[in-house]
A = this chain, B = another copy of it.
Amino acid sequence: MATVKDLAKATGVSVATVSKFLNGGNVLPENRRRLERAVKRTGYRINSLARGLKTRCSMTVGVLIPRFNNAFYAAMVSELENQLSRNGYSTVVCAYHDDPATEREKFDFLLNKAIDGLIMTPLGAASQCLPLLRQTTLPVVMIDRVCDGMARDMVVTDNAAAAADAVRCLAARGHRRIGIVTGPEGVFTADERLAGYRRAVAELELDPAPELVRRGDYSPDSGNRCMQEFLDLRRRPTAVIITNYEMTLGGVIALENRNISIPGELSLIGFDNLELAQVIRPPLTMVVQPVAKMAAAAVALLRQRLANPADNSFSIKKFPAELMLRDSVKTINMK
C-alpha cells in the first residue's frame, strides 16, 4: 500500500506538497501532473484512519435504528445513507430489535467507533442508553422516536396530529365508532398516535369504548390479528385506523380473507404509503410521513452541529404527516 511518503519519493516533492495536492491545494502544474501519474501508477489510496487521527474527524456517522426489516426504517436508512454519502460521509448502521439491552450495547459500540455524529431512533421510555447519551458530547440527532428532556436535535412526525386528523376525516364522514391499531406501549410513536386518537375521539364525542383500541407490535401478523379481533366484535367499528405500514397490510389481508369489502363494510385508513400499499385495490387512504424530508432534516441538523459545535441551543423539527384521501373511506349514514 503506497503512502504519501512513497508519492513524495516517486515525484521528488515533499510530503507536505503531496498532502496539499491530495487535498486540492495549489501546486505547480508540473508537480500536479507527476503526482497524478504517481497516484494512478501506485494505486494510492488515502489512509482515512491516519487522516482521521490527525484531523479528528472520520467522515462517518452512526445510524441506530430499531430494525432493518421494516419498510419505514428501510426507507429511512436508505434516505439517510443517500444524503450522507452525498456529503462525503459514510454510514455505519446498527439495529437493536426493540430490545433495550441491545440498544444500549449498540449505542456504546458506536460511541467507540470514531463516528462524527449519530442519528438514532431511540426505543422510547424504556431506553437504557439515556445516561450514556446524556454524558456524551457526540452530536446526536434523534429521528422518528425521541426522548424528552434530552437537549438534543430531534426530527419527528407530528404523530398525535396525524392520528387526530385521521379520526376527524372519518368522523366528518359519519363514522362514530372508529377503531385504532397502534403499537406497543412505551414506544414513542405508538403512544403519541394513540394520544392523538383519544384526544380527537373525546373532542368529537365519538364512541370511546376501550375495545376500539388494539395494540399490535408493528408486524403484519399483529395487524392481521387485531383486525380479526375487530371483526369478531359484537358491534364492529365502521372504520379502522392502522398506525404503520406492516400492520396496515396485515389488516388488509385479514379483510380479504374474510371477504369484507373496503370501504363497503369497513372504512380503512393506513399509515406509510410505501411500495406495496400503492398496488392495493381499492387505493388506501393513508397517513404519509415525509420520510425523505425527515432524513434530509436530520442530516442537515447534524451537519449544522458539526459545523458549529459551540452552539448549545437545539431544534425540534416536527413535520406534519399528510392525509392522502383515497377510496378506502366511505361516507356512512349519519344517524
A-to-B contact residues, CB < 8 Å? 43, 45-50, 52-53, 58, 60, 67-71, 74-75, 77-78, 81-82, 85, 90-95, 106, 109-114, 135, 219-221, 224, 246, 249-250, 253, 256-257, 274-276, 278-281
Enumerate the 3 nearest inter-chain pairs by beta-carbon distance, A residue then B residue, closest first: A68-B78, A49-B52, A257-B281
Min Cβ gap A217→B in Å is 12
The A interface is mostly helix, strand or loop, or mixed, namely helix
| Chain B residues, Cβ within 8 Å of A74 | 68-70, 74
Q: By the criterion CB–CB under 8 Å, are A60 and B94 in contact?
A: no
Contact check, B280 vs A69: say whether CB atoms are below 8 A apart.
no
Complex Cα–Cα for A70 and B74 (A)? 8
Q: Is the CB of B221 within 8 A of A246?
A: no
- Please give, as numbers and ranges, the residues of chain B lying within 8 Å of A220 by CB-CB distance: 275-276, 278-279
> B residues within 8 A CB of A279?
220-221, 224, 250, 253
On whether the beta carbons of B53 and A81 are closer than 8 Å, the reply is no
| Alpha-carbon separation in the docked complex, A238 to B75 (Å) | 36
Residue contact B109 to A90, C-beta cutoff 8 Å: yes
Q: Is the CB of A48 within 8 A of B221?
A: no
A90 touches B92 (CB 8 A): yes
| A95 x B67 contact (CB < 8 A) | no
Chain B residues whose CB sits within 8 angstroms of the CB of A48 once the complex forms: 112-114
Closest to A77 in B: B68
Name the distance in Å between A318's Cβ and chain B's nearest Cβ. Answer: 25
Give min CB distance, A291 to chain B, whole Å. Answer: 10
